[in-house]
């Protein structure tokens, strides 16, 4: 069973749409959760950490459900510049390495 | 904004040669990592480094790989006797005791990567 699973997409949405990505993780002892964004052939860039209470940063909202081992990312009012691959990332404990999902590709279309 | 830098951006080498990939982590960070990403695949962990020693390594990080922090700023990955399957993007990452925006202390920040092509 893969450690972090994501729907690879692609999700093709018009500008202004709301889009949601989901991710599941297999290790119930995981401690930290993140969404990173990766543009083609570039490095992963931290989008946001995901906290148990859920958190919002502008148009982006992340939720964590520990009981279901499920993480989500909601993007409201999509912009063309949001087109990228969104990586769900988990950390089993503070000093352990990040475990990446394969990513979900988003294309926002004018 | 502080950032991780890496050199070179692209390295082409012949099979069997040694390469050294260089990274300058964010200046007050204490934890350093190397990851790699083969084209079309997910990002994979190679090694973590803290307090001048390796703290964890993956199965990928075999005897052909080594890491070093030769001075107070650089963090290097050496690959001895490169193989065709070592062709990938190699990312360096670092973290401090607090996220850059005051966020989670476990946030890792990635450099732009070195594209290694072994021919």
Residue B86 gets the label, from left (phi > 0), alpha (psi -120 to 50) or beta, of alpha
B71: confidence class by pLDDT, cuts 50, 70, 90: confident
Percent pLDDT > 70 in chain B is 99
Q: Could you tell me if B48 and B33 are in contact, meaning their C-beta atoms sit under 8 angstroms apart?
A: yes
Cα separation, A35 vs A55, in Å, equals 12
* Of the partner residues A32, A44, A95, the one whose CB lies closest to the CB of residue B110: A44
Contacts with B, A 40-59, CB within 8 Å: 41-46, 48-49, 51
Contact of A18 with chain B, judged by CB distance below 8 Å, is answered with: no
**Mean pLDDT over the full length of chain A:** 94
Residue of A nearest to B88 (CA): A41
- pLDDT range class, residue A1, cuts 50, 70, 90: low
| Dihedral sign, Cα of residue A64, residue A25, residue A39, residue A81 | negative
Query: Could you tell me what percentage of chain A is helix, strand and coil, using 3-state DSSP and rounding each to the nearest 5?
Result: 5, 55, 45
The mean per-residue pLDDT over the stretch B10-15 comes to 98
pLDDT of residue B21: 98
Q: Return the minimum-mean-pLDDT range out of A41-45, A77-81, A95-99, B11-15.
A: A95-99
DSSP H/E element including B94: strand B88-95
The model's confidence at residue B1, banded by pLDDT at 50, 70 and 90, is: confident
pLDDT in tens, A40-58: 999 999 999 998 888 999 9
Q: DSSP characters for B21-59?
A: EEEE--TT--EEEEEEE-TTS--EEEEEEETTEEEEE-T
Mean pLDDT of chain B: 94
Pairwise CB contact (< 8 Å): B45 & A98:
yes
Q: Give which of A36, A40, A41, A43 to mutate to test B binding, by max B Cβ within 10 Å.
A: A43
Of B43, B48, B111, the CB nearest to A100: B43
């Amino acid at each position: 069973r893969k450690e972090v699973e994501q729907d690879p997409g692609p999700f093709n949405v018009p500008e202004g749409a709301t889009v949601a990505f989901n991710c599941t993780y297999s290790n119930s002892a995981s401690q930290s959760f993140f969404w990173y964004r990766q543009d083609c052939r570039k490095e992963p860039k931290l989008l946001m950490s995901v906290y148990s209470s859920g958190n919002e940063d502008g148009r982006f909202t992340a939720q964590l459900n520990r009981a279901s081992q499920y993480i989500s990312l909601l993007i409201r009012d999509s912009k063309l510049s949001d087109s990228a691959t969104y990586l769900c990332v988990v950390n089993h404990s503070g000093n352990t390495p990040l475990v990446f999902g394969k990513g979900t590709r988003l294309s926002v279309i004018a | 904004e502080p950032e991780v830098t890496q050199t070179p951006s692209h390295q082409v080498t012949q099979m069997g040669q040694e390469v050294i990939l260089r990274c300058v982590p964010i200046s007050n960070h204490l934890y350093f990592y190397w990851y790699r990403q083969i084209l079309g695949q997910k990002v994979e962990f190679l090694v973590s480094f803290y307090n001048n020693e390796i703290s964890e390594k993956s199965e990928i990080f075999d005897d052909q790989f080594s890491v070093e922090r030769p001075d107070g700023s650089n963090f290097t990955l050496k690959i001895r006797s490169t193989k065709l399957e070592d062709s990938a993007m190699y990312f360096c990452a670092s973290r401090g005791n607090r996220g850059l925006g005051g966020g989670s202390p476990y946030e890792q920040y990635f450099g732009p990567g070195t594209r290694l092509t072994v021919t």
